[in-house]
Every structure is written in C-alpha cells, then in structure tokens.
Amino acid sequence: MLKDVTLGQFLPGVSPIHRLDPRAKILFLIALIVFIFITSNYISLALVAAFIVALVFMTRIPVKMYLKSMKMILFIVLFTGIINLFYGRGEPLVKIGFLQITEAGINNAVFVAVRIAVLILASSMLTFTTSPTDLTDALERLLKPLTVFHIKVHEIAMMMTIALRFVPTLLEETDKIMSAQKARGADMESGNLIKRIKALIPVLIPLFVSAFRRAEELATAMECRCYQGGSGRTRMKRLHFGKADLYGLAACLLVLCGVIICNIFLPATVR
Amino acid sequence: MNVIETENLSFVYGQGTPFEKTANDRLNIQIKEGEFVGIIGHTGSGKSTLVQMLNGLIKPTSGTIRLEGTDIWQSPKEIRKIRFKVGLVFQYPEYQLFEETVEKDIAYGPRNMGLSEGDIRERVISAARFSGLRSELLSKSPFDLSGGEKRRAAIAGVIAMDPDVLILDEPTAGLDPAGRDVLLAQISQYHKERKNTVLLVSHSMEDIAKTADRILVMNRGRAEMLEDTRTVFSRGEELEKMGLRVPQITKIMSGLQKRGFDVPSGILTVEQAAGVLAAYRGRSV
C-alpha cells in the first residue's frame, strides 16, 4: 500500500534524458515551466505541450508511470479548471444563478488545466530520470553562488540527500512495525476517525524511536569518517556538461523562439 | 491431528510487474498439534513469507491454509481472530515496543482481544514469567531496558495472547551466547508446560538441533523436507547444496563414522556425543 507512491520516484534507465547532466535537467525544467506560463494562445501552448510530451517518450519510461503520478493531482487540476471556468469576463454563454460561463472563462480553464498537467508531467520526468543523489548534487552546484550570503548550501544539500535516502527505509520500517502490531491484534482498518488515529500510536512511537536511533547512528558513522561539512570537500563523481546537454539547450531555445513568435504574431487568447 | 495444514500454498510478490518473484511455491505442509518444528533455509528461501501467511498477515496468491481444519481466509473480516490463535514474533521484535510501561506493552495484545482487566493482568504476569522477565521490570519504561530484556518483553507480548501456535522468527538473532541459551531454554520450557505448537525459524543449526522435534527445510520457495530432526541432519550433503549445514557436532560424529569408528549416526548435541564417546572408550579399552 505504501509502495504505490510514485511522486518523486527514480526509475533507472539509459535513455538520452537519463544521461543529461542533472544541472542541465533542472535548468531545462525551470525553462519549460517559464515557457508554459508565457504562452498566450493555443498554438504556442500546444507547441510547448508537444515538446514536453516528445521528451516524455524519449525517457522510455512506461506512460503508465506518468499517468499514475498525474492521478494524484487530478483533483487539483479539475478543481482549478472548474473555478476558472466561472472567472471570465465578457458576454456570458451560459448562466447558472449568479455564476456565468464566458468564452474567456473556458479559455482560462483550459489553459490552467493544461499548464498544471504539463507542469507535473515535466517535474515527474525530472525525478523519474534523475537519481536523488544526482539531483541534490546538481542543486548544490546551482545554488553555490548563494554561499556569498553565508547560506550553507552544502549542508542543505546533504540534509536533502539524507532525507531522500531514508524515505524508502522508513516506509519499509513502517510496513514492518504495522505488521508486528497487526500480529498483536491491532485493528487499523475499522472504527471512526479518532479510533483510527489512536490505532496509529503503536506504529508511530516505534517509528520515531527508530528514526532517532538511525539518525544518531548515521551521525556517528559520518563523524567516524571525518565528515566536517562542505569546505574543501572533493567529489568522486564530477558533473559534466556534454554534447547532449548542448543539443537539449538548442532544442529549448528553438521552442522558446517558437513560443515568442506565436505570441507576437497570433492574437492572445488569455492575458 | 494436524493443527496447520497447507495445500498448494503459493505467494508471488509484485504479480504482473517486471519485479515478479515467487516467494513460496506450492507448499504442502502438515504440522501436528503440540509439535516443535524448526524452520531452516537460506536467506530468501521464503521462510518469512511463509510464517506471515500462516497467521494471516499476508494473503496467499493461491492455495489454502487450514487452521484446525478450517480455511483461515474463509471470512476475511475475522482474520484478527486467526492472529490471536497463531502468535507471530517478528525478527528483532524489540522495535515494536511503544507503551509507557512494560506491563502495558505486554497487555496490548490481550487488550485487543477484549479480555477483562483481571484476565489481562493474569496473562501479563504469566507471560513475563515464561519469557524470563523479572517482575520488577514490569513497571519500567520499555525503552529503559537492556537489549535482551527488550527482546523478552516483546516475546512476552505475543505469549500473553496465549496462542495455540507460537511462531518465532529468529528470536535469538543478535543476542550473546549466554542470552540465546537462556532464551532457547525458556522457549522449550514454555512448549513443555503449555503443550502448544511452536514453530522456530533460525539460522543456527545448533539451536534447532537442541529444540525441534521435526524440521522444515525451505529452499527457493519450496518445502524440500519436513521430517524429524535426526533424519534431516543425517542428509548433510543435500543440506550443504542448499547453502545450509548440519550442527558441527553432527558433522564431527559422521566424520568419525566415515573413518571407520563404530559410533551411531544422527548425534545432535554435544552432550549426546560425549555420552557416546565415553561408551566407545569403555568398549575399546
């Protein structure tokens, strides 16, 4: 049951997208998000969406996985879409009481829904194709300039790595403790809300105890290996900005040009 | 009479995904009432999956488990009752302790059964005695106990449910030699006094040789043997092929036998061997 969480899951592979430099991937993701929000008509929206869908197919990860991660936010997409439906100005097409649907409203709804959907698609593409360690490494590198403001970038990245590293471990542990308490007759499936929350206490307490124990053990192990934070630390795996990343950059620039041209030469459907 | 009976019992992890793995493959096992059965097998041979199926924690992919003649999944809503009848002590059970006091923690199972306070109290005390927990520890916090004491407290938590079948998954893992001997003796004692069925999963052939009447040998999800302890340990070569071994003393004695000494086969403990060797010396002088 707990293993069905797909958001933020890494799926190893050898596709061109997997092999991109993680720093480039983060920057491309940011770029794509910007693109999707500067589009102002259907043609440019379709262009960006098509680009992202093409990338999705390039990852060679089953489309089923993407759909699974979309399922979790389907509600948000529908909710914001429907709210936007009633927020357009102009001549009402349909009137239901004080609510009115206008053409602008429909346009808004479609844009918002597609934007959020594509946003999730693009971000799950990043997490599906990039291992958590690569991701935090890349973040550390990208945020390095912030050290000027005395922000401990390395320490933050290290904390993120550790947190991500322990997600599966703690999930497995939760499963184990739940089984152990069920073996002692714990009933977690029936009763009202308060009863169910109470039934979780025998799971949560051992889980916290073991999380603290693990944290302490990890801290000791790190100290034993003379870990002392970021200064002067070298890396075994150095990130490398290569040819593939250049191609990616070129593709992104092309799409950007396309979006700008569409925006200039075609009438805007949303503002 | 058979207390547990399985018929073509199989379990497949992640069915329909690329990670599909058969953990148990068509097991047909009969366990008699009041028996002490040892379960041995290489890591990943399906022991843990089997014991979790036996008390209804995981549902078999196919096949049936009968407890005292009735299918345990006959009415899935009543599965908790099966868990009270088949008590399962997990590996490293001390990580499941959560209550303020040891007494309350041991009482968790009986309380879930809906017993009266008086009965609960009685069961806690007798369970603590069976698992060798000193009574002054009952009012302490479980987190203040030593590792061995925590283990005992957790085992007592399952014994307190007074299950017809008690399953222990590697109860001695991580204990020091003295601690494991005492714990094993206590489990044997419990078995003798309550006369209920005990299933013991262990990697230590010595532990199994000391306690079990019969042994179930698991290999790659299949039940390879289910026979009495002597018979199983006389098939040392087959066991070694499965990544298992026989107790060291059994190996020594069968080595002596091969070299032409007139000693009986199927010696399981050092005490037996000492007796046999003393008799042998008496004869040869």
Instruction: Convert the pLDDT of each residue in A120-168 to its tens digit.
Output: 889 888 988 988 888 888 888 888 888 888 888 888 888 888 888 888 8
In angstroms, what CA-CA distances link B265 with B217, B242, B281? 20, 21, 17
Instruction: Flag if B52 and A179 touch (Cβ within 8 Å).
Output: yes
Task: Tell me whether strands B165-169 and B86-89 are parallel, antiparallel or unpaired.
Answer: parallel
User: What type of residue sits at position B209?
Assistant: A
Q: pTM, whole model, 2 decimals?
A: 0.76
- Give yes or no for A64 touching B (CB within 8 A): no
Distance CA A161, CA A140 (A): 11
Return the ∠ at Cα B160 (arms to B171 and B46), rounded to 5°. Answer: 35
Question: Mean pLDDT in chain A?
Answer: 85
The band of B285, judged by pLDDT with boundaries at 50, 70 and 90, is low
Q: What is the model's pLDDT at position A1?
A: 43
A19-33, A157-171, A199-213, B114-128: segment of lowest average pLDDT = A157-171
Instruction: Say how far apart CA B165 and CA B213 lie, in whole Å.
Output: 15
Check residue A223 and give its pLDDT. Answer: 92
Rounded CA gap, B27 and A111, in Å? 57
Residues near A234 by Cβ (< 8 Å), separated by ≥ 6?
none
Residues A116 and A108: their CA atoms lie apart, in Å, by 12
Q: For an interface test with A, give the residue of B49, B86, B96, B104 to mutate (most A CBs within 10 A).
A: B96
A183, A201, A210: residue with CB nearest B83: A183
Where does residue A137 rank: exposed (0-12), middle (13-18), buried (19+ CB within 10 A)?
buried
Please state whether B247 falls in left (phi above 0), alpha (psi between -120 and 50) or beta: beta
- Domain tally, chain B: 1
ipTM over 0.90: no
Amino acid at B191: H
Chain B positions in Cβ-Cβ contact with residue A209 (cut-off 8 Å): 95, 98, 143
* Residue B154 belongs to domain with CATH number: 3.40.50.300
pLDDT band for position A102 (cuts 50, 70, 90): confident
Going by their DSSP bridges, the two strands B222-228 and B214-219 should be labelled as antiparallel
| Any A CB within 8 A of B59 CB | no
Range of the domain at B190: 2-246
Domain spans, chain A: 7-130+241-271
Residues of A in contact with B57 (CB under 8 A): 179, 182-183
Q: To the nearest whole percent, how much of chain A has pLDDT over 70?
A: 96
Token reading at A39: 């589009």
Residues 6+ apart with CB under 8 A from B90: A176, A179, A180, A183, B96, B169
How large a percentage of chain B has pLDDT more than 90? 51
Contacting residues for A38 by C-beta, under 8 A, at least 6 apart: A259, A263
Residue B278 domain-assigned (yes or no): no
Residue A8's pLDDT is 59
